[in-house]
Chain A
């Protein structure tokens, strides 16, 4: 599964890096940085949590 963030939509709510810290980081402004575009199998739960908790719908998780 591939993880993508639309940085035009991201406004820095910061839910992703709080709820899924192994997959997301914050940049200097507190906006989203994806740590692993290719999601390791054991982090799939975190990936979904990050995706579904973005109020801006900026994160997408897609089949390769």
Chain B
């Protein structure tokens, strides 16, 4: 496609490399000229204005999260609570929310700070690193293991499984060699299922262990938790674990990567947070807004509804473009400026309404700790000369982010 978005046709491509690297101009064009567009290829409606996105997020009876296509992620059943609607979803959130509250997440700070430090120890003296693989990928996985109470020796096992589900083509390119488009899709599905099986098996064993012996961890609390006097079934626990694994790792990896890539590219902004680490919480919020690493969330339309004259039909799979909503100038003053001291920041990077990201307090804590530790240890860094970071579409993970610095430059 030559133009993105193609305003005459009302089409937008959300899955090309240019969009993944720099989506803001596309968002601005949609915001100004095409508040409801259609996705290239699928023709699915794409909603871009803040007001409309927020409205849809708050109407689960019209915009449902229960969709068959998401089962394509290697699960046998919907993930809990992300892929089910209220009122059942509400029961699970009542149970899960206390385990993901800000207060609870604070308890994990020392472990995550130590992990961030240990990761940096491995490469600080080299003066260069590929940031994604060395830092952005392992840190959230380590936090996940700490949270659930799983051994850190399982880190590589989890990373392999997660990639096997989210991007099998990257981890096992040899399996896809010479296959046609349709064959590749089939192969991907087969590999996702195989990884899904291993995840189920792993957590089955953990459930058995915590049933036999209580420990002080989230897995034990899930195994022994009750909703209205009834224990969670084994399947329910598995469906929750699946969500925590798939939703909790890539999203934070992508966000840490987007943040550091932005700061490597904008040295004045970086120096400001190095000089005053008190700006970090505001910087984390503002970069969540500006970068919106999770660009969109899907919903299924349950009954015909109109948005700005655009007819949505029952059964339509709608894309709510969080990234575009986050630069809507009706809701953000100076929406296209990056301001770490923005007074009002009601970004939708964690969604909104009943499905507000369960892990938002965990994510914020991880991001703040990562930013603090990184800039304390490596305050001056840049993208290696002649290199360009590579972003993946969908969730904007910075798959390749080569950084350099002067070793021992810590102030």
| Known interface pairs A14-B361, A29-B94, A30-B361; A55-B101 also in contact (CB < 8 Å) | no
Query: Would you give the shortest CB distance from A13 to chain B, in whole angstroms?
Result: 6
How many Å lie between the Cα of A31 and that of B98 in the bound state? 10
Determine the interface band of chain A, counting residues with CB < 8 A from chain B: 10 to 19
Q: Please encode chain B, from 78 to 104, with 1 for each CB lying within 8 Å of some chain A CB and 0 for all others.
A: 000000000000000110011011110
Query: When the two chains form the complex, which single residue of A13, A18, A30 contacts B100, counting CB atoms closer than 8 Å?
Result: A30
How many Å lie between the Cα of A18 and that of B106 in the bound state? 12
Contacts of B354 in A (CB 8 A): 11
A28 in contact with B98 (CB, 8 Å): yes
A28 in contact with B101 (CB, 8 Å): yes
How many Å lie between the Cα of A53 and that of B281 in the bound state? 14
Q: Does A38 contact B (CB under 8 A)?
A: no
Contacts of B347 in A (CB 8 A): 55
Stretch at the interface among B24-32, B108-116, B291-299, B338-346: B338-346
| Known interface pairs A11-B353, A11-B356, A13-B356; A29-B348 also in contact (CB < 8 Å) | no
Q: Does A7 contact B (CB under 8 A)?
A: no
Q: Does B352 contact A (CB under 8 A)?
A: yes
A52 in contact with B344 (CB, 8 Å): yes
Contacts of B101 in A (CB 8 A): 12, 14, 26, 28-30
Q: Does A54 contact B (CB under 8 A)?
A: yes
Query: Would you give the shortest CB distance from B64 to chain A, in whole angstroms?
Result: 17
Query: Would you give the shortest CB distance from A33 to chain B, in whole angstroms?
Result: 12
Chain B residue at minimum C-beta to C-beta distance from A14: B102
Query: When the two chains form the complex, which single residue of B103, B344, B360 contacts A53, counting CB atoms closer than 8 Å?
Result: B344
Query: Would you give the shortest CB distance from B259 to chain A, in whole angstroms?
Result: 18
Query: Would you give the shortest CB distance from B84 to chain A, in whole angstroms?
Result: 16
Q: Please encode chain A, from 38 to 64, with 1 for each CB lying within 8 Å of some chain B CB and 0 for all others.
A: 000000000001001111100000000
B360 in contact with A14 (CB, 8 Å): yes
Contacts of A53 in B (CB 8 A): 344-346
A13 in contact with B350 (CB, 8 Å): yes
| Known interface pairs A53-B346, A54-B346; A11-B100 also in contact (CB < 8 Å) | no
Contacts of B360 in A (CB 8 A): 13-14
A12 in contact with B345 (CB, 8 Å): no
Query: Would you give the shortest CB distance from B287 to chain A, in whole angstroms?
Result: 16
